[in-house]
Amino acid sequence: MLQFFSKYKLLAIVLMPLSVIIISIIYSVLKPVEILPVYQPSAVSAALVSQEIRHQKKYHTISNFRLTNQNGQTVTQDTYEGKIYVADFFFTTCQTICPIMTSNMVELQDKLANNPDVLLLSHTVMPEIDTVAQLKKYAIQKKVNATQWNLVTGSKQEIYDLARKQYLVAKENPDDPLGLVHTENFVLIDTQKRIRGFYDGTQTQEMDRILHDIGVLQNQGKKSIFFGLINY
């Protein structure tokens, strides 16, 4: 008996820690995980959603867009392909909620500086004022990192459609058919272009919630890759 244990002692020494590692990995993968909701137009306040899609209960994703950023570069869905991102709407001359929102977005930028899989996207709701030059000036003032964060402008129609038919975050302006009353909402978009969260961009504590939820999405992505390898 002693000879038996002596013979397999080395094998046992190797297998025991390996078994512990394997069990730990399996446990971490299979344990219950937090899952964020997927928001549909029907679940969002009707005041923020274009009437034609308020009934939609599934399959809502952010459609393709073509905008111009603070450096005069074209920004499309391809720019955000495979990325998680946080979007909002603002304008550079706003003196009410926008400065607070921008300050909080800067906080996100700084805390996500080492996370290349997460980007930021801010749309002006006043493209007639916020030219590329104006956005560039604003970006410099606010220390915007262009590799992480695009400040974009486009046609008034496209901005309107994005705000009310895609991101679901703006009210109509009764004095202007294509005018918007933008809200304080930050919107979390996953790698499949789905809305996964709405946050009050004027509240500092909400930035912690966004960072937490980004972590949730990234952990889900890692688990999907793991199971994909198992099933390969």
pLDDT band at 10 (very low <50, low <70, confident <90, very high): low
Please write the tens of the pLDDT for every residue from 198-214.
999 999 999 999 999 99
How would DSSP label each residue in 167-220? S--EEEETTEEEEEEE-SEEEEE-TTS-EEEEEETT-HHHHHHHHHHHHHHHHH
4 belongs to a structural domain: no
pLDDT band at 176 (very low <50, low <70, confident <90, very high): confident
**pLDDT at residue number 14:** 54
Number of structural domains the chain divides into = 1
pTM confidence score:
0.83
Question: Which residue from 229, 160, 167 is spatially nearest to 199, judged by alpha carbons?
Answer: 167
**pLDDT at residue number 104:** 98
165 belongs to a structural domain: yes
**pLDDT at residue 222 above 90?**
no
Q: 174 or 202, which is more confident?
A: 202
How many Å apart are CA 192 and CA 219, to the nearest integer? Answer: 15
pLDDT band at 6 (very low <50, low <70, confident <90, very high): low
Write the single-letter amino acid at 217. L
Backbone angles phi, psi at 99, to 5 degrees: -60, -35
pLDDT band at 175 (very low <50, low <70, confident <90, very high): confident
Residue 42 carries which DSSP code?
Answer: G
193 belongs to a structural domain: yes
How wide is the angle at C-alpha 210 spanned by C-alphas 204 and 215, nearest 5°? 140
27 belongs to a structural domain: no
Max Cα-Cα span within the chain: 92
**pLDDT at residue 227 above 50?**
no
Q: Indicate which CATH number applies to the domain containing 52.
A: 3.40.30.10
36 belongs to a structural domain: no
**pLDDT at residue number 33:** 77
34 belongs to a structural domain: no
32 belongs to a structural domain: no
**pLDDT at residue number 3:** 56
What element of type H or E holds 118?
Answer: strand 118-124
Residue 165 carries which DSSP code?
Answer: I
How would DSSP label each residue in 47-107? GGS-GGGTT--S---PPP-EEEETTS-EEEGGGGTT-EEEEEEE-TT--SSHHHHHHHHHH
Please write the tens of the pLDDT for every residue from 138-154.
999 999 999 999 999 99
Please write the tens of the pLDDT for every residue from 19-63.
556 655 554 555 567 999 999 999 999 999 999 999 999 999 999
**pLDDT at residue number 177:** 76
pLDDT band at 179 (very low <50, low <70, confident <90, very high): confident
pLDDT band at 232 (very low <50, low <70, confident <90, very high): very low
Query: Which structural domain, as residue segments, surrounds residue 174?
Result: 41-226
How wide is the angle at C-alpha 53 spanned by C-alphas 52 and 54, nearest 5°? 100
Report the pLDDT averaged over residues 88-111: 97
231 belongs to a structural domain: no
